């Protein structure tokens, strides 16, 4: 079922909201459990009645809703010259039926919560997209654009339902088809170390600033504005942004203001604490923590992979004599005791981490026969998606053209999306 709300306009864009009622579990589509998936259609003014093809956007994450457009700019501006853009709020995110501690609480037991959340990986996101395609355009294929985790969804789409695809664009998101979570973190931790070194080369004074902050947090119980505690481990998770072109500056400018002088001595600046809270979205996007490692699991358990693999990299020790290192996009079990909205989900998170019967995400033999044109921007120094894994996948799957570049970091689509999408479209069509 597709419910369309009133179409409205903002300067430069026509926006139409769709809501689809879809099965929670496609293995049992007639079951009572349903969910709502929201998608926002974006159209250039004057083209409302034109028979334009669709470009469907798969957001990064997991656990993040699609962009909320404020005008015709960036990659959307380029796409609207020839497409209707469909911004998909992947199941569990945005205006779709959400996954939060608040909504999961109503399921009762941790096992019931885990059983529910297991249906929110890339495979079911793609099944949702296919159901929506058939409602909107029937048997016609459409084009898709996947950013980061959205690229993982795109690769699953190529594996599961290639007949639904005309062309595929991927930015910073070609996954390994076979690597385990352990393989992924064993490869990405060294990249995080390298980003830390570059950060401290740019801001050498922050070596002492970061050590002072970690020492203070170790010795004091620092409460966050909206609850929870700022621990040294949580503070060092700010390194999550180091893979973005503006990530170093975001962290540096924040820690410059970490302390204020009070009559009793130095204490944490409330504005700094608010800034840290704003920079960390684990409370508002619990899918990220619950299913981050499940992005890589196929018939195996992650067993809190990032936590286990961290022991192989003593550079991250808080006792290190040199600069203290920030961590990256990894998730850790201790987070379930620090972030207020994750605390009620600790038992469910542990169940998901121990789950061994995850379905396969990619049919390698089917992908070896791919005929859908694919163009992908692969960022040479990508901190989140291991470049060598992306290149390996491209050697396995035919009809993939890679643009390997160090001109952009992982946020290239946000920073220069109009040029990137234009180039990728030309690549799929043989113009580059």
**How far is the CA of 51 from the CAs of 186, 287, 305, 426, in angstroms?**
48, 36, 47, 21
Asked if the structure places residue 113 within a domain, the reply is no
Average pLDDT of span 290-297: 98
CA–CA dist 126, 121 (Å, integer): 9
Asked if the structure places residue 339 within a domain, the reply is yes
Q: Report the length, in residues, of the chain.
A: 432
How much is the pLDDT for 265?
Answer: 86
Asked if the structure places residue 264 within a domain, the reply is yes
- Mark whether 128 and 43 lie in a shared domain: yes
How much is the pLDDT for 321?
Answer: 73
End-to-end Cα spacing for the chain: 40
Residues contacting residue 165 through CB under 8 Å, at least 6 positions apart = 141, 142, 143, 144, 157, 158, 372
Average pLDDT of span 37-42: 97
pLDDT above 90 for 287: yes
User: What would the two tokens of residue 246 be?
Assistant: 């503006």
Active centre residues (catalytic): 148, 357, 410
Residue pair 120/99 in contact (Cβ under 8 Å)? The answer is yes
User: What would the two tokens of residue 339 be?
Assistant: 């972030």
CA–CA dist 156, 173 (Å, integer): 12
**Sign of the dihedral through C-alpha 202, 328, 152, 138:** negative
How much is the pLDDT for 322?
Answer: 81
- pLDDT tens digit string along 396-430? 999 999 999 999 999 999 999 999 999 999 999 98
Query: Across all residues in the chain, what is the average pLDDT?
Result: 96
Pairing of strands 265-268, 142-147: unpaired
Residue ending a domain, choose from 354, 387, 410: 354
Residue ending a domain, choose from 330, 354, 378: 354
Q: Write out the DSSP string of 122-162.
A: HHHHHHHHHHHHHHHHTT--EEEEEETHHHHHHHHHHHH-G
How much is the pLDDT for 432?
Answer: 74
pLDDT above 70 for 6: no
pLDDT above 70 for 37: yes
Residue pair 305/332 in contact (Cβ under 8 Å)? The answer is no
How much is the pLDDT for 361?
Answer: 98
pLDDT above 80 for 11: yes
How much is the pLDDT for 138?
Answer: 96
| Phi, psi torsion values for 262, nearest 5 degrees | -120, 165
pLDDT above 70 for 157: yes
CA–CA dist 410, 176 (Å, integer): 17
How many structural domains are present in the chain?
Answer: 2
- Mark whether 171 and 191 lie in a shared domain: no
pLDDT above 90 for 7: no
- Mark whether 187 and 171 lie in a shared domain: no
Our measurement of the distance from residue 115's CA atom to the centroid of its chain's CA atoms, rounded to an integer in Å, reads 22
Which alpha helices (H) appear in 331-431, and where do they start and end? Answer: 346-354, 364-367, 387-396, 412-428
- Mark whether 70 and 197 lie in a shared domain: no
DSSP code for 106: G
Asked if the structure places residue 114 within a domain, the reply is no
How much is the pLDDT for 204?
Answer: 97
pLDDT above 70 for 224: yes
- Mark whether 139 and 219 lie in a shared domain: no
DSSP code for 384: S
**Which of 89-103, 257-271, 313-327 is least confident?**
313-327
Question: Per-residue confidence at 2, pLDDT binned at 50, 70, 90?
Answer: low
CA–CA dist 102, 59 (Å, integer): 23
How much is the pLDDT for 319?
Answer: 78
- Mark whether 82 and 70 lie in a shared domain: yes
Average pLDDT of span 285-313: 97
The secondary element (H helix, E strand) that includes residue 41 is strand 34-43
pLDDT above 90 for 223: yes
DSSP code for 256: T
How much is the pLDDT for 125?
Answer: 98
How much is the pLDDT for 90?
Answer: 98
How much is the pLDDT for 250?
Answer: 97
Q: By C-alpha distance, which of 367, 379, 372, 370 is closest to 407? A: 379
273: left (phi over 0), alpha (psi -120 to 50) or beta: alpha
- Mark whether 201 and 323 lie in a shared domain: yes
- pLDDT tens digit string along 305-319? 999 999 999 999 987
Average pLDDT of span 224-251: 96
Q: By C-alpha distance, which of 286, 302, 278 is closest to 342? A: 286
Residue pair 391/156 in contact (Cβ under 8 Å)? The answer is no
Q: Write out the DSSP string of 74-94.
A: HHHHHHTTT-EEEEEE-TBST
- Mark whether 296 and 383 lie in a shared domain: no
Asked if the structure places residue 314 within a domain, the reply is yes
Average pLDDT of span 113-137: 97
Average pLDDT of span 280-309: 97
Does pTM surpass 0.75? yes
User: 10 Å Cβ neighbour count for 105?
Assistant: 11
pLDDT over 90, % of the chain: 93
- Mark whether 13 and 138 lie in a shared domain: yes
Q: By C-alpha distance, which of 146, 111, 148, 132 is closest to 288? A: 148
CA–CA dist 389, 213 (Å, integer): 36
pLDDT above 90 for 288: yes
């Amino acid at each position: 079922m597709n419910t369309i709300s009133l179409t409205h306009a903002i300067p430069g864009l026509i926006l139409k909201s769709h809501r689809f009622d879809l099965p929670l579990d496609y293995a049992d589509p007639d079951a009572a459990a349903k969910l709502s998936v929201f998608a926002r259609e974006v159209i250039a003014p004057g083209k409302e009645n034109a028979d334009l093809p669709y470009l469907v956007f798969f957001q990064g994450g997991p656990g993040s809703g699609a962009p909320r457009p404020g005008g015709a700019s960036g990659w959307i501006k380029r796409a609207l010259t020839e497409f209707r853009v469909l911004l998909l709020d992947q199941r569990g995110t945005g205006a779709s039926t959400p996954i939060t501690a608040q909504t999961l609480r109503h399921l009762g037991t941790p096992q019931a919560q885990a059983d529910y959340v297991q249906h929110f990986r890339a495979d079911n996101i793609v099944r949702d997209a296919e159901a929506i395609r058939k409602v909107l355009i029937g048997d016609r294929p459409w084009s898709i654009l996947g950013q980061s985790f959205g690229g993982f969804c795109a690769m699953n789409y190529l594996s599961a339902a290639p007949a639904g695809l005309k062309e595929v664009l991927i930015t910073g998101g070609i996954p390994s088809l076979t690597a385990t979570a352990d393989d992924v973190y064993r490869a990405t931790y060294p990249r995080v170390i390298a980003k830390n070194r570059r950060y401290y080369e740019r801001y050498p004074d922050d070596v002492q600033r970061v050590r002072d902050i970690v020492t203070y947090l170790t010795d004091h119980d620092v409460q966050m504005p909206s609850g929870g505690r700022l621990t040294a481990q949580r503070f060092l998770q700010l390194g999550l942004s180091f893979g973005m072109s503006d990530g170093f500056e975001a962290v540096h400018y924040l820690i410059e203001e970490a302390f204020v002088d009070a009559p009793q001595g130095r204490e944490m600046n409330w504005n700094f604490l608010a800034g840290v809270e704003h920079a960390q979205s684990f409370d508002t996007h619990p899918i990220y923590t619950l299913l981050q490692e499940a992005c890589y699991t196929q018939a195996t358990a992650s067993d809190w992979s990032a936590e286990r693999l961290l022991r192989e990299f003593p550079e991250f020790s808080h006792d290190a004599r040199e600069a203290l290192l920030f961590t990256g996009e990894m998730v850790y079990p201790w987070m379930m005791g620090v972030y207020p909205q994750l605390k009620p989900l600790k038992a469910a998170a542990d169940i998901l981490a121990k789950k061994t019967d995850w379905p396969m995400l990619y049919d390698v033999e089917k992908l070896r026969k791919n005929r859908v044109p694919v163009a992908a921007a692969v960022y040479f120094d990508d901190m989140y998606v291991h470049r060598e894994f992306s290149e390996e996948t491209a050697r396995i799957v035919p009809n993939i053209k890679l643009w390997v570049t160090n001109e952009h970091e992982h946020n290239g689509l946000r920073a220069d999306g109009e040029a990137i999408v234009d180039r990728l479209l030309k690549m799929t069509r043989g113009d580059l």
